Amino acid sequence: MAATAGGVKAAPAEVAPRVEARGVGLRAGLVTVVFLVAALAIGLAVGPVHVGLGSILRSALSYVPFLHVHQPLGAVDHAVVWQLRAPRVALAALVGGMLAVAGASYQGVFRNPLCDPYLLGVAGGAGLGATLAIVYASAAATGSTWTVPLAAFAGAIAAVVVTYALGRSVGAAHMTGALVLAGVTMATFTAALQTFVQQQHTQQLQNVYSWLLGGFSTATWHDVAICAPYIAASSLVLVLHRRVLDVLSLGDDEAASLGIDVGRARLAIVVAATLGTAAAVSVSGLIAFVGIIVPHTIRLLVSTSYRAVVPLSLLAGAGFLVLTDVVARTVLSPAELPIGVVTAFLGAPFFAIVLRTSRGLR
Amino acid sequence: MHRISIAVVAALVAALVLVSLSAAAQRSGRATHRYHRIISLSPTVTEDLFAIGAGKQVVAVDDQSNYPKRAPRTNLSGYTPNKEAIAKYHPDLVLISYDPGNFASQLRQLGIKVVFVKAADNLKQAYGEILALGRLTGHLHGARAVVHSMRTHLAAIVASVPQTRRHLRVYHELDPTYYSATSSTFIGSVYKLFGFRDIADAAGGTGGGYPQLSGEYIVAKNPQIIVLADTRCCGQTYSSVSSRPGWSTISAVQHHRVFGANDDVASRWGPRIVQFARSVARIAKQG
């Protein structure tokens, strides 16, 4: 980190993004929107139960008043499409968008291309919270749709607060490096606690694992409703900070000389990215790699400016995770494949390619 | 010379007879007392041992062995076994169903007999294990009686379900994320006994007989019986299942054919499977 910060002043390539930064180009924006819409349509149309896209569309239109379109779906198909598949698609879109935009923002704030949304201990904290709830909450409470998401959310926030306090105690001069190290420390510590609790209650092993693996197999509109407000607010804050991220990527001193309150800007971005990630994780479990591969794809294909990377990551991340979830529910149909397997299986080779071609990338 | 050789042969024959007699005695009589300090690290084996009458020889059982109540439950773990903690009980026989990190061979190096009792895939294997435990502990009679009782009761329970209810589609739920069990598992073999069609079978070999099913597949497949093996772990009940989005269209929900099983009984392969089958039969017959 220190080396990167030190090298910033001398390296003209680092300044290049500002020169080329013109925000989201019309073409790139349009392509991404089309990608997202296509992903949503595929997500709604493809699954273990075959329902034609035409009848799904007519079914959607039947809800529009004054059109008088006849509802073409039977009770079962209707339940499959609108109560099981649609919330799954919506949740995957929200979570994918959030993880990608949070990953992009963390990468900007910490000036480290390997940062992911779980950097500050969100994953470990959420995992610990969820495990504690699964193991210690009464059966009735565990059966409730609130207990585990709330515990995961609380665990994630608590872990990040401790990480931030720990990182801050080092002093502002080395803040970003210290925060990353504090995050690694916190992640390791919470993982140890989580494993300990889980091993003490082996009868709940299956539940803990299936939460940790993550996924949308049991997504409901209720899940969508509890995470949507956080994700919407966080994404909005991050998109509004896209220019600040461009300036921050030049280095703290440069950003300060350009009139930015570096400490406050960084805190706002970290808080927004963390809250949104915690909300996403609490309803979907731990889904790796989305936060790394989506922003890097945008950087490779469109622009390294955060004015493009942030909003396009939001849209592309949503589309990517919807498509990943389609693979997860169809490739072994009627069995499910854990979505983490799919994201990592597609993500790892992809990331290898990004690494090979990323000279000069940030 | 001749006499001497006759005497030697006679002595040899006598010795042979004696040896074989005592060996036979060991097989039948003394074998009963061969293992008095048994440790079971498998809840199913614990249930088997107490059912066949070997309970008095058991000195310790693992932390998951919660049945029968009189079993000497300890904090020994079958998942993360600690060989020193086990050795402290001075066992002469340790029974396990899970062998992480070659732990059995390490125990054997301490001079302790270890027998691996694998998770049964069907009733036949479960019966075989009960008989083997009977032989090992000197309670073969008890074991035969248990197996006989299980066979006859199960046959009667299956016969009590009318032919028209023998081909119901069943969904067996292991947790609220729709992990299920196929016919190739022990619990699946119980459903097969009734003639039920297990909806998880379409997922074939994925997940080693325990696939995670898609919610939309379950709803579309419309199971006529739902068995919840996640009542204790995860608080699932008829009402929580019927309030899942889309599940109200399922036949089993509409006809109240949802059985909240005891998770433990449904996940073990011991004698209590008879009670489980009886409850399943009752659910199949109603409505």
List the CATH number of the domain containing B195: 3.40.50.1980
Q: Which of A23-27, A56-60, A228-232 has the highest mean pLDDT?
A: A228-232
Q: What is the mean pLDDT of residues B262-271?
A: 95
**Average pLDDT of chain A, as a whole number:** 85
Q: How high is the pLDDT of residue A12? A: 42
- The one-letter amino acid code at A63 reads Y
Give a yes or no: residue B18 inside a domain: no
Q: Are B234 and A85 inside 8 Å of each other by CB?
A: no
Q: What is the mean pLDDT of residues B98-118?
A: 91
3-state secondary structure of A28: helix
Give a yes or no: residue A4 inside a domain: no
Nearest to B246 among A80, A143, A336 (CB): A80
Count the domains in chain B: 2
The residue of chain A with its CA nearest to that of B237 is: A143
Mutate one of A78, A80, A329 to test the B interface: name it (highest B CB count within 10 A): A80
The answer to whether the CB of A328 falls within 8 A of the CB of A342 is yes
Name every chain B residue with its beta carbon within 8 A of the beta carbon of A144: 235
Count the domains in chain A: 1
The residue of chain A with its CA nearest to that of B206 is: A335
Q: How high is the pLDDT of residue B33? A: 52
Q: What is the mean pLDDT of residues B143-156?
A: 97
- Residues B140 and B179 occupy one common structural domain: no
Q: Which of A8-12, A139-143, B235-239, B266-270 has the highest mean pLDDT?
A: B266-270
Closest CA to B42 of B86, B2, B95: B95
CATH code, domain with A169: 1.10.3470.10
Q: How high is the pLDDT of residue A227? A: 93
Q: How high is the pLDDT of residue B54? A: 95
Q: How high is the pLDDT of residue B9? A: 61
Give a yes or no: residue A248 inside a domain: yes
- Residues B39 and B140 occupy one common structural domain: yes
**Average pLDDT of chain B, as a whole number:** 89
Q: Are A220 and B232 inside 8 Å of each other by CB?
A: no
Q: Are B249 and A79 inside 8 Å of each other by CB?
A: yes
Q: How high is the pLDDT of residue A358? A: 59
Q: Which of B89, B117, B145 lies at the terminal end of a domain, its last residue?
A: B145
Q: Is the pLDDT of residue A276 over 80?
A: yes
Percent of chain B residues topping a pLDDT of 90: 77
User: Of A207-211, A262-266, A270-274, where does mean pLDDT reach its minimum?
Assistant: A207-211
Rounded to a whole number of angstroms, the distance from the CA of B178 to the nearest CA of chain A is 8
Using DSSP bridges, classify how beta strands B113-116 and B258-260 pair: parallel, antiparallel or unpaired: unpaired
Nearest to A47 among B204, B214, B222 (CB): B214
Total-model pTM: 0.84
**CB within 8 Å of A151: residues ≥ 6 apart:** A129, A130, A132, A133, A137
Q: How high is the pLDDT of residue B171? A: 98
**CB within 8 Å of B28: residues ≥ 6 apart:** none
- Residues B132 and B169 occupy one common structural domain: no
Give a yes or no: residue B99 inside a domain: yes
Q: Which of A168-177, A230-239, A264-273, B6-15 has the highest mean pLDDT?
A: A230-239
Give a yes or no: residue A362 inside a domain: no
Q: What is the mean pLDDT of residues A174-188?
A: 86
The answer to whether the CB of A199 falls within 8 A of the CB of A254 is no
Rounded to a whole number of angstroms, the distance from the CA of B32 to the nearest CA of chain A is 34
- Residues B243 and B186 occupy one common structural domain: yes
- Residues B41 and B105 occupy one common structural domain: yes
Give a yes or no: residue B196 inside a domain: yes
The answer to whether the CB of B161 falls within 8 A of the CB of B66 is no
Question: What is the DSSP secondary structure assignment for residue B1, as one 8-state letter?
Answer: -
Q: Are B214 and A142 inside 8 Å of each other by CB?
A: no
Give residue A139's pLDDT band: very low, low, confident or very high (50, 70, 90).
Answer: low
The answer to whether the CB of B92 falls within 8 A of the CB of B36 is yes
Q: Are B216 and A199 inside 8 Å of each other by CB?
A: no
Q: What is the mean pLDDT of residues A7-26?
A: 49
3-state secondary structure of A172: helix
Q: Are A336 and B64 inside 8 Å of each other by CB?
A: no
- Residues B120 and B179 occupy one common structural domain: no
Give residue A143's pLDDT band: very low, low, confident or very high (50, 70, 90).
Answer: low
Q: Are A47 and B64 inside 8 Å of each other by CB?
A: no
Q: Are B217 and A215 inside 8 Å of each other by CB?
A: no
Q: How high is the pLDDT of residue A147? A: 85
- Residues B56 and B133 occupy one common structural domain: yes
Q: Is the pLDDT of residue A138 over 80?
A: no
Name every chain B residue with its beta carbon within 8 A of the beta carbon of A338: 212
Give a yes or no: residue B7 inside a domain: no
Between CA B57 and CA B192 the distance in angstroms is: 35
- Residues B139 and B169 occupy one common structural domain: no
Q: Is the pLDDT of residue B8 over 80?
A: no
Q: Is the pLDDT of residue A275 over 80?
A: yes
Rounded to a whole number of angstroms, the distance from the CA of B150 to the nearest CA of chain A is 27
Name every chain A residue with its beta carbon within 8 A of the beta carbon of B181: none
Using a CB–CB cut-off of 8 Å, the residues of B that contact A are 64, 77, 79-80, 174-179, 202-204, 206-207, 211-217, 219-222, 231-237, 240, 244-246, 248-249
- Residues B198 and B241 occupy one common structural domain: yes
Q: Is the pLDDT of residue B251 over 80?
A: yes
Q: Which helix (H) or strand (E) holds B113?
A: strand B113-116
Give residue B15's pLDDT band: very low, low, confident or very high (50, 70, 90).
Answer: low
Q: How high is the pLDDT of residue A201? A: 83
Higher model confidence: residue A140 or residue B147? B147
Nearest to B245 among A141, A220, A334 (CB): A220
Q: How high is the pLDDT of residue A177? A: 81
Give a yes or no: residue A8 inside a domain: no
The residue of chain A with its CA nearest to that of B218 is: A334
Q: Is the pLDDT of residue B19 over 60?
A: no
Q: What is the residue range of A48's domain?
A: 25-357
Give a yes or no: residue A140 inside a domain: yes
Q: Which of B113, B145, B177 lies at the terminal end of a domain, its last residue?
A: B145
Q: How high is the pLDDT of residue A4? A: 39
Rounded to a whole number of angstroms, the distance from the CA of A185 to the nearest CA of chain B is 26
A27-61 per-position pLDDT tens digit: 899 999 999 999 999 999 999 999 988 899 999 99
Nearest to A335 among B79, B212, B233 (CB): B212
Give residue B157's pLDDT band: very low, low, confident or very high (50, 70, 90).
Answer: very high
Using a CB–CB cut-off of 8 Å, the residues of A that contact B are 47-49, 75-77, 79-80, 83-85, 87, 138-144, 199, 202-207, 210, 215, 217-218, 220-221, 329, 332-336, 338
Q: How high is the pLDDT of residue A13? A: 41
User: Of A228-232, A246-250, B118-122, where does mean pLDDT reach its minimum?
Assistant: A246-250
Give residue A169's pLDDT band: very low, low, confident or very high (50, 70, 90).
Answer: confident
Name every chain A residue with its beta carbon within 8 A of the beta carbon of B239: none
The answer to whether the CB of A254 falls within 8 A of the CB of A8 is yes
Nearest to A336 among B80, B204, B213 (CB): B213
The residue of chain B with its CA nearest to that of A136 is: B233
Q: Which helix (H) or strand (E) holds B228?
A: strand B225-228
**CB within 8 Å of A218: residues ≥ 6 apart:** B176, B177, B178, B215
Q: Are A206 and B175 inside 8 Å of each other by CB?
A: yes
Rounded to a whole number of angstroms, the distance from the CA of A150 to the nearest CA of chain B is 16
Nearest to B177 among A203, A218, A221 (CB): A218
Residues linked to residue B212 through DSSP beta bridges, in sequence order = B179
Give a yes or no: residue B75 inside a domain: yes
- Residues B42 and B132 occupy one common structural domain: yes
The residue of chain A with its CA nearest to that of B220 is: A76
Helices A86-110 and A262-284, packing angle to 10 deg: 150
Q: How high is the pLDDT of residue B4? A: 64
- Residues B136 and B181 occupy one common structural domain: no
Q: What is the residue range of B176's domain?
A: 163-285
Q: How high is the pLDDT of residue B149? A: 97
Q: Are A87 and B245 inside 8 Å of each other by CB?
A: yes
- Residues B128 and B192 occupy one common structural domain: no
How much is the ipTM here? 0.82
